[in-house]
């Protein structure tokens, strides 16, 4: 009797193992699923999730707390040797290519500001039609004021200011902060000798840059050198939207790679 019970016990165990093997090795009714496939898919899903979390941390909502501390190490990291930036605007998408060799200090500054959302919801407040389009004053007055005098050293110019290049605006030597402009034409004859040092170039969406609202010209703040930007720094986007409602905006800026 005891031997019979033991035999049935082991037969049950063996049958269970065989059932598991059949389930693992057999295709599912839904298709080509297997235990091996499910593990691989789970691994891929985890990788995608981690990437999404990382992207959200770097390119989610503007990191206001960090942006209020311009001297923090997090805002002063070295940029990669090459990277791409996506600018989502109220007219469409613009993509930029950046190489650190073109302007190490300038690329580092722009890269870190983009990563932390500084340019999100920033107005393209100064456009000289056919010449340049300028942006870079944060819409939150506290953040804008925190960065207004955070200058970086000059870099030697590598690229010329041809159509589609992006450079920092400045008033004094070693005076670049956060404001940049996109050349709407070849401005090398006037800009190279300043020198305005390009940090990036438009690789997609130049037609979007050309379409940005330009009729306000110098009225919505003007250039740094004109000394009329105080209302923009003090009033932020509220001031701009009230007084210059047709301005276009960078709704989101992200580092793509």
Residue 186 burial (10 A CB sphere; 0-12, 13-18, 19+): middle
Residues in the chain: 257
For 144, which DSSP code?
H
State the Cα–Cα distance between residues 204 and 176, nearest whole angstrom: 25
**pLDDT for residue 6:** 42
Q: DSSP letters along 27-88, please? A: PBTTBS--HHHHHHHHHHHHHHHHHHHHHHHHHSS--HHHHT-TTSGGGSPPPPSEEEEEEE
pLDDT digit string (tens) for 70-96?
Answer: 999 999 999 999 999 999 999 999 999
| pLDDT tens-place string over residues 93-146 | 999 999 999 999 999 999 999 999 999 999 999 999 999 999 999 999 999 999
- pLDDT band for position 60 (50/70/90)? low
Kindly report the CATH number that applies to the domain delimited by 65-255: 2.40.100.10
pLDDT higher than 80, residue 17: no
Is the pLDDT at 199 greater than 50? The verdict is yes
Structural domain spans, the chain: 2-59, 65-255
Predicted TM-score (pTM) of the model is 0.76
91 within 8 A of 249, measured Cβ to Cβ: no
**H helical segments located in the chain:** 2-25, 35-59, 64-67, 104-115, 141-147, 188-191, 206-211, 230-243
DSSP state of 152: B
Comparing C-alpha atoms, which of 224, 201, 183 is closest to residue 106?
201
């Amino acid at each position: 009797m005891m031997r019979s019970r033991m035999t049935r016990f082991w037969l049950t165990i063996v049958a269970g193992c065989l059932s598991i093997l059949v389930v693992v090795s057999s295709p599912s009714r839904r298709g080509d699923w297997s235990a091996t496939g499910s593990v691989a898919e789970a691994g891929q899903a985890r990788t995608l999730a981690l990437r999404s979390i990382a992207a959200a941390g770097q390119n989610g909502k503007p990191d206001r707390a960090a942006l209020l501390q311009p001297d923090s190490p997090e805002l002063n990291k070295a940029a990669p040797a090459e990277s791409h930036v996506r600018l989502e605007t109220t007219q469409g998408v613009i993509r930029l290519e950046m190489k650190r060799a073109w302007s190490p200090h300038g690329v580092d500054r722009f890269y870190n500001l983009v990563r932390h959302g500084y340019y999100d919801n920033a107005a393209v407040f100064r456009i000289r039609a056919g010449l340049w389009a300028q942006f870079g004053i944060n819409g939150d007055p506290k953040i804008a004021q925190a960065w207004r005098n955070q200058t970086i050293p000059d870099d030697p110019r590598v690229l010329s200011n041809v159509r589609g290049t992006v450079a920092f605006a400045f008033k004094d030597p070693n005076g670049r902060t956060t404001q940049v402009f996109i050349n709407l034409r070849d401005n090398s004859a006037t800009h190279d000798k300043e020198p305005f040092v390009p940090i990036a170039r438009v690789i997609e969406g130049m037609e979007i840059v050309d379409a940005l609202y330009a009729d306000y010209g110098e009225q919505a703040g003007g250039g740094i050198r004109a000394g009329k930007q105080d209302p923009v720094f003090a009033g932020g986007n509220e001031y701009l939207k009230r007084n210059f409602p047709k301005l276009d905006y960078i709704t989101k800026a992200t580092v793509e790679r």
